[in-house]
């Protein structure tokens, strides 16, 4: 095995390190607003809102012009369409966010496709032109990127093939991003679908993370300039056994201690179908559990930051201030939880606890 490898240049290391630590600055986390145009259909349909480019623009404008959002949100992940859409004042959303001091991220994967030879497992496409796209995104003001892979828990899954393929493609993506000055968010999501218990979820997540960090090392990825975006470790969505926030926090942090190097500056959890309150309470428990925590433990939520805002807005112009107030509440609650200061039930969601679970979730 060849081991003659040069580290990336010091200036690039410094730039990546600076961006990654700014994203996980104290009290701050990420708003994942990178749903593809196709997946916005599911978000809009409960409100009978046509999934048009203009409605997507109006919704993103509501979020990105929320007053004081930057107090809680360090970075926003955008879809290509959103990066270049313009707010009413003529500024692109990318520029608007940057001028507010929010770091702009971009989803660069092109979605999940079947992995032949497996039991309905998948991999994620998008490597072919990634080098050029990353160069362009960097010039257009993006400083970080996201690529999501999913692993499914079943009797015979995830397979060795799916684990190897997905962790390797994430490592290739990460090395390409870094060569262009973009911090990669590495997202090997173990889906919550299934009736397994928390211990099975723990074992699978540990196995996937161990493979992930081996692959990142094989591809010479500079860990200090990366962020990990994992699932919290939970029992399966249809399991009859529920675990307390302390149990969830314990197995989650324990597994990460076993599998994630301390060189990684931050772990930014996805919400993965948890309700807004669940995702907040679990993140708070993760930040207060009596275990070592060598990384920042923050959030990169999509559904758990947006569900109340969307429900309050429901596509009506007169509801924009209400939608913005709801987004600010969830952002503040997540910020408190990320600092271990959230009191359960203190910032209720717009609607009584609604499940945000979507089977076999696509982004």
Nearer to ligand 13P, 77 or 176 (CB): 77
Nearer to ligand 13P, 15 or 333 (CB): 333
CA angle 63, 21, 246 (to 5 degrees): 80
Nearer to ligand 13P among residue 133 and residue 229 (C-beta): 229
191 near ligand 13P, judged by CB under 6 A: no
Nearer to ligand 13P, 122 or 302 (CB): 302
Least distance from ligand 13P to the Cβ atom of residue 262, Å: 24
Question: Across the strands, what pairs with 123?
Answer: 113
The CB-nearest residue to ligand 13P is: 302
User: Could you tell me which of 326, 232, 236, 363 has the C-alpha nearest to residue 287?
Assistant: 232
**Binding track, positions 288-307, relative to ligand 13P; x by CB under 6 A:** ------------xxxxx---
Q: Which is nearer to ligand 13P, 77 or 251 (CB)?
A: 77
Active site residues: 187, 229
User: Binding-site residue total for ligand 13P (CB under 6 A)?
Assistant: 12
Give yes or no for residue 271 binding ligand 13P (CB under 6 A): yes
Per-residue burial over 126-157, b if 16 or more Cβ lie within 10 Å, else e, is: beeebeebbeebbeeebbbbbbbbbbbbeeeb
The binder of ligand 13P chosen from 20, 32, 162, 311 (CB under 6 A)? 32
Closest listed residue to residue 146, CA positions, set 57, 236, 82: 82
Q: Which single residue is written with the structure tokens 């809680």?
A: 72
Q: How far is the CB of 283 from ligand 13P (least distance, A)?
A: 11
- Residue 28 contacts ligand 13P per CB under 6 A: no
CA–CA separation, 206 vs 230, rounded Å? Answer: 11
Q: Which of 188, 272, 323, 349 binds ligand 13P (CB under 6 A)?
A: 272
> CA 158 from chain center: how many Å?
21
The two most distant CA atoms of the chain are separated, in Å, by 63
Rule CB under 6 A: say whether 82 interacts with ligand 13P.
no
> Which bin fits 118, alpha (ψ -120 to 50), beta or left (φ > 0)?
beta
| Sites of contact with ligand 13P (CB under 6 A) | 32, 148, 187, 270-272, 300-304, 363
């Amino acid at each position: 095995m060849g081991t003659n490898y040069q580290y990336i240049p010091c200036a690039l290391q410094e730039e990546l390190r600076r961006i990654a630590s700014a994203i996980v600055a104290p009290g701050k986390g990420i708003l994942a607003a990178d749903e593809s145009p196709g997946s916005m259909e599911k978000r809009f349909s409960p409100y009978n809102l046509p999934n048009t480019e203009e409605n997507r623009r109006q919704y993103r404008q509501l979020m990105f012009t929320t007053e004081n959002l930057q107090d809680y949100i360090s970075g926003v992940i955008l879809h290509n369409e959103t990066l270049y859409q313009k707010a009413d004042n003529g500024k692109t959303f990318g520029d608007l966010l940057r001028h507010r001091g929010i770091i702009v991220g971009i989803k660069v994967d092109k979605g999940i496709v079947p992995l032949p030879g497996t039991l309905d497992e998948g991999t994620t496409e998008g490597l072919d032109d990634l080098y050029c796209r990353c160069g362009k995104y960097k010039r257009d003001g993006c400083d970080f990127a996201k690529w999501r892979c999913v692993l499914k828990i079943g009797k015979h899954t995830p397979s060795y093939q799916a684990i190897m393929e997905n962790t390797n493609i994430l490592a290739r993506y990460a090395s390409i991003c870094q060569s262009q000055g973009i911090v990669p968010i590495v997202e090997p999501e173990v889906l919550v679908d299934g009736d397994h218990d928390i211990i099975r979820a723990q074992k699978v997540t540990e196995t996937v993370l161990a493979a992930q960090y081996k692959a990142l090392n094989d591809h010479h990825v500079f860990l200090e300039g990366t962020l990990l975006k994992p699932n919290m470790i939970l029992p399966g969505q249809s399991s009859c056994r529920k675990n307390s926030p302390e149990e969830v926090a314990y197995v989650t942090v324990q597994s990460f201690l076993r599998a994630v190097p301390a060189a990684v500056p931050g772990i930014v959890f996805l919400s993965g179908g948890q309700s807004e309150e669940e995702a907040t309470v679990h993140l708070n428990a993760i930040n207060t559990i009596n275990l070592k925590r060598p990384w920042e433990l923050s959030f990169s939520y999509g559904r758990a930051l947006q569900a109340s805002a969307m429900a309050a807005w429901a596509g009506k112009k007169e509801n924009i201030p209400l939608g913005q107030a709801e987004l600010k509440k969830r952002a503040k609650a997540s910020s408190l939880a990320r600092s271990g200061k959230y009191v359960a039930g203190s910032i209720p969601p717009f609607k009584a606890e609604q499940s945000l679970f979507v089977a076999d979730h696509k982004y």
